A and B are shown apart, each in its own frame.
Chain A
Amino acid sequence: MAVAAAVATTVPAHGYEGSTTLAGLTEQAALQSRLHRRVVERFALSLGIFEPLRLDPATLSTDRARNLFVRLSALDAGQGHAPEVLTRKGGQSLSPLRQHVLGWLAAGTVLETHPALRVRHHFVDAKSGAGLRRQPGVTAAAASTDSVQQGISSLRQLFSGAAMDGTGLAAPDWIESADNDLGLTVFGDAYERAVTAETVAARETALVEALLSAGAMLAVLEQVGDPAYVHNDLHAVLAGRYSSYVAEHYGRAGVPQPDLKLELAPPQRFRDLVFDGKGGGLAERTAQSYLSTDSISRKVLPAGTKLVGQGGYLSTPWAKHWLAWTQQRASEEGESSHSALFLDDRCFADYASALLPAVGKFAQVGLDFLLRGDLRLSFSTESGLVIKLLDEQLGSGNLTVLGEKASGERIVLKTLSTLPSRPGVLGTVPLSEESVKDYVRLVVLWKGRDHNGQHLVTSSQLGLRKTEPVAPAAPAPEAASE
């Protein structure tokens, strides 16, 4: 008889929990970033990060729409990032979803942990830069079976050979992987469509996709702020004691703000924020200072450390309770007593209070990096459309100038190639009043490589009606706007 009494279960989180810790880190990072202004200036969304956007499944491929819909429908509405399900129109198999900009970004962060198999790609060894690897003596078959038991893989995946075999891509490689449906490549493509797609619905959906991808990449970055992910410590990830502590004590809404005092050099690549091989990545910083429960051995103790007494804590400048230890008696005659090293809740409390603000800062820098390259447009009858580059040195690329009609439809007006540029005038596009008279807005997309050779897509827009003179002395240039 399948009558199972309700049993209160203590539930470990595995890695920073997506719905709470990771989503909270992303939200706090976004509030400190330039996301709000960029959304306003690039996409003319006046409410910025609180502007509602619709994901219209009809503008996506069936598989992509269904995949996103299923994963988004699972999100916790109590944490605020679950999108609202709108009424389905006739002929549509999936309902449109609505959420504001910040909510989509946080939703992307949670989606990076769904399905669980993605977690295999969140590891990076802080010394070698390698991804998750099996412990010596563990076979792929044993690791796959374990992953089913742990709920990371399904039985179906086990029999089809797709179960986690104890290995994974390194986190920076996963971000750039073509197999990552929420990675850097998808972000760039989606951003481009968010500007150039013909219809409003397609552009909004593409912007949602870009935000989901950005949020997911931030999740990968944030995860390496958990010591288990940088010590190749899958067991600690699955045991989840540290991450459970963080989820329980901070939730989503209690995650602290990014550490504003922490100064980070602008990265050359997004992946450098995760791991740069020079000690500047979050993974390296985490590994250098913090331990995970299963990576602790005598080797972690500084040379000459003597543990005196029955037990206590070792301290560092960044954590008063860095490592706990207790003297264990010999279990058998002839055995000498030895000290056991471990992490307890006091250690976790110190780790979290130091790590979370730093992780938030990395996430904020990461978000600003993804949306770097601000442009500003001005239009006059004398010089046409002038495109200024504000903050980034660009390599060569292509400019696409589009006109937006009152109906929302966008049409390509010009395409130009640009040479490497410093902040200043990026280009001037000769457009007459006559040529823009049918449009309410001019939009520019720049796509190319930055001065570090990294792919970059950026954009700006200019409402043409705002340029109309309103002073009574000025003649009304109706011809320019009609």
Chain B
Amino acid sequence: MPIRQNLDGAGPPVAMQWPRFTRWQRLVFGLSCWRGVGMLVAALGLVGALPGCMGPVAKAPYARRLGSGEAGSLIGPFDGQVIDQSTVTPLSSALVIGTWAFQEAGGIAVPESAYSVTTVTGSDGSYSLPSLPAGRQFAGLLRRFTLVVYKAGFVGYRSDVRFDDRSPRHDFVQRGNVVRLDRFPQGESHARHLVFLGSGAALRGAAQAEIIQAGLELQESAPQLVPDPTVTLAPPAASESSGTH
């Protein structure tokens, strides 16, 4: 029954009142209300699934900002600046790769999936990586985030381990991170440098020249095969059994 108001002006307006419903009407109305509540809940759930609400996340092994004491987040976002350690000037066009790694939740450490984003530093050496996209946040247990920075002619950077002594890196921070790259020292092994960095597709593309150098280096330095034995001219041990030429 529609709600009506007497507007004919013939008498005082009738106070608006809730209509009387039949049992069936009340039932239908109630169901539609609950459906609305359900949709509201679902919508809230969907919104809640956006940044900040997601599956299990491991503890980030780095701070949010340098000296802040606030724990960082594996989800991101991440930003910072890449500078040349020797000249203390910004390094532009350095390759920056961020990778989120997931593993299967609740069990043995089994890789589940990974997601990478790549960018290059601007003219001021700055980089910025967005947060892990919402659609990727339910892939499994978010186990780690790794930042790799590469610039030809420099020692690359990993957010987890230092190159010089292979010790754990403690100065990586989520926001305002400063990446200081040293010039690649003469005599340093390109092969070991590449293995240190890892070999994602983007990195392989950027490090083509260094890959060739590493190959040449290993031709010189890799453990030798046993040299040719002294060849005795004894009758060869082979006896031809068949030929399919």
Partner-B contacts on A (CB < 8 A): 1-15, 17-19, 27-28, 31-34, 36-38, 40-41, 46-52, 73-82, 84, 98-100, 102-103, 110, 113-116, 119, 150-152, 238, 240, 247-256, 374, 376, 387-391, 399, 412-421, 423-429, 435
Q: Is the C-beta of B4 less than 8 angstroms from some C-beta in chain A?
A: no
Contact partner of B225 (CB less than 8 A), chosen from A7, A19, A374, A421, is A374
CB of A22 to closest CB in B, whole Å: 10
Tell me the interface secondary structure of chain A in the complex: mixed
Contact partner of A34 (CB less than 8 A), chosen from B158, B163, B191, B223, is B223
Question: Are B201 and A49 neighbours in the complex by a CB distance under 8 Å?
Answer: no
- In the bound complex, CA of A413 to CA of B127 (Å): 58
Contact partner of B141 (CB less than 8 A), chosen from A9, A416, A417, is A9
- In the bound complex, CA of A267 to CA of B228 (Å): 22
Partner-A contacts on B (CB < 8 A): 41, 44-45, 48-49, 52-61, 71, 73, 75, 97, 99-101, 103-114, 116, 141, 143-146, 148, 158, 160-161, 163, 166-168, 191-192, 194-201, 203-204, 211-212, 214-215, 218-219, 222-234, 236-245
CB of B67 to closest CB in A, whole Å: 20
Contact partner of A11 (CB less than 8 A), chosen from B71, B112, B141, B222, is B141
A-B contacts, 17 listed (Cβ < 8 Å) = A6-B57, A8-B71, A33-B223, A40-B219, A41-B225, A47-B211, A50-B211, A74-B111, A77-B101, A78-B100, A78-B148, A80-B197, A80-B203, A253-B161, A387-B238, A388-B228, A425-B231
Known: A8-B71, A119-B108, A390-B225. A427 touches B54 (CB 8 A): no
- In the bound complex, CA of A119 to CA of B110 (Å): 10
Contact partner of B218 (CB less than 8 A), chosen from A48, A115, A391, is A48
- In the bound complex, CA of A18 to CA of B200 (Å): 17
Please indicate the chain B residues that have their CB under 8 angstroms from the CB of A152 in the complex. 107-108
10 closest Cβ pairs, A-B complex: A151-B107, A80-B198, A427-B238, A78-B99, A78-B146, A3-B48, A84-B201, A47-B215, A391-B226, A116-B108
Question: Are A36 and B108 neighbours in the complex by a CB distance under 8 Å?
Answer: no
Question: Are A418 and B160 neighbours in the complex by a CB distance under 8 Å?
Answer: no
Known: A37-B222, A419-B237. A74 touches B113 (CB 8 A): yes
Contact partner of B54 (CB less than 8 A), chosen from A4, A37, A413, is A4
Question: Are A3 and B49 neighbours in the complex by a CB distance under 8 Å?
Answer: yes
Contact partner of A254 (CB less than 8 A), chosen from B110, B161, B232, is B161
Write the chain B residue with the least CB distance to A35. Answer: B222
Question: Are A19 and B57 neighbours in the complex by a CB distance under 8 Å?
Answer: no
Known: A75-B111, A81-B198, A413-B244. A6 touches B204 (CB 8 A): no
- In the bound complex, CA of A41 to CA of B100 (Å): 38
CB of A128 to closest CB in B, whole Å: 24
Contact partner of A424 (CB less than 8 A), chosen from B41, B59, B160, B231, is B231
- In the bound complex, CA of A33 to CA of B224 (Å): 9
Please indicate the chain B residues that have their CB under 8 angstroms from the CB of A38 in the complex. 225
- In the bound complex, CA of A99 to CA of B233 (Å): 44
